[in-house]
Structure 1
């Protein structure tokens, strides 16, 4: 049984009608659609690279900075509420612009 199967893989069949074709290459002619597909694939590849760069920008710079800024803001707010609840003190921010600016500078300091 194995002798008959192995012989069919060694010798090509004799009744081949496509004599002019090479085994691995089709005999179709080249057309402009191949060039169009190549341009589309190049544009798609560049689009994917651009999306990947934007994703890296967001994950490496924007998200940590925004998270750190709002995290500090939330922590200051929470600490003020805790101090007002625990002790008889009133927390007042005298200059909101300076407070926001300092928070932005502190968030960017260690990035």
Structure 2
């Protein structure tokens, strides 16, 4: 079966950058000259098992990539970003406003914390 040339129907298509090359019909001699092999069914089964395993492997790798890019990386980035922000803000505030806190009575300090916690209930 031969297809008509696109340039015959429309001359502007002949110069198009997206032209698909024309498909030439193969002759019977070319088909007859191809080697014919009888394939064993066991060879086909092995190939089928291999391709199924390879397809499953690719699917599992794709799922791991999705898990990594959609779940793990954002959570790790969020965690590390917050840690970095808290650390840098603490360092800045200690540099900008150097304040030392001295607790003279530990029992009163802890008691105040307990009373404040109970008052919030």
TM-score (norm 2): 0.53
The CA distance in 1 between the partners of 2:88 and 2:26, in whole Å, is 80
Identify if the C-alpha distance between structure 1 residues 56 and 90 changes in structure 2 by more than 3 Å, giving closer, same or farther.
Answer: farther
Which of residues 42, 45, 66 is equivalent to 2:52?
A: 42
Q: Extract structure 1 runs of 4+ deviating beyond 3 A.
A: 9-13, 22-26
After TM superposition, give the deviation of residue 28 of structure 1 in Å.
1.4
Which deviates more from structure 2 when the two are superposed, residues 29-38 or residues 73-82?
29-38
Give the aligned length: 76
Superposition CA RMSD, Å = 3.0
Partner of 1:71: 81
TM-score (norm 1): 0.57
Identify if the C-alpha distance between structure 1 residues 64 and 35 changes in structure 2 by more than 3 Å, giving closer, same or farther.
Answer: same
Which structure has the greater CA radius of gyration?
A: 2
The CA distance in 1 between the partners of 2:81 and 2:36, in whole Å, is 65
String of CA shifts for 1:59-111, please: whole Å, max 9, x gaps.
Answer: 001100111011101100000001011111369xxxxxxxxxxxxxxxxxxxx
The CA distance in 1 between the partners of 2:87 and 2:64, in whole Å, is 32
Describe the SS at the equivalent of 2:39. Answer: coil
Partner of 1:56: 66
Unaligned 5+ runs, structure 1: 1-8, 17-21, 92-111
**Superposition pairs for residues 79-98 of structure 1, below 5 Å?**
79-89=89-99
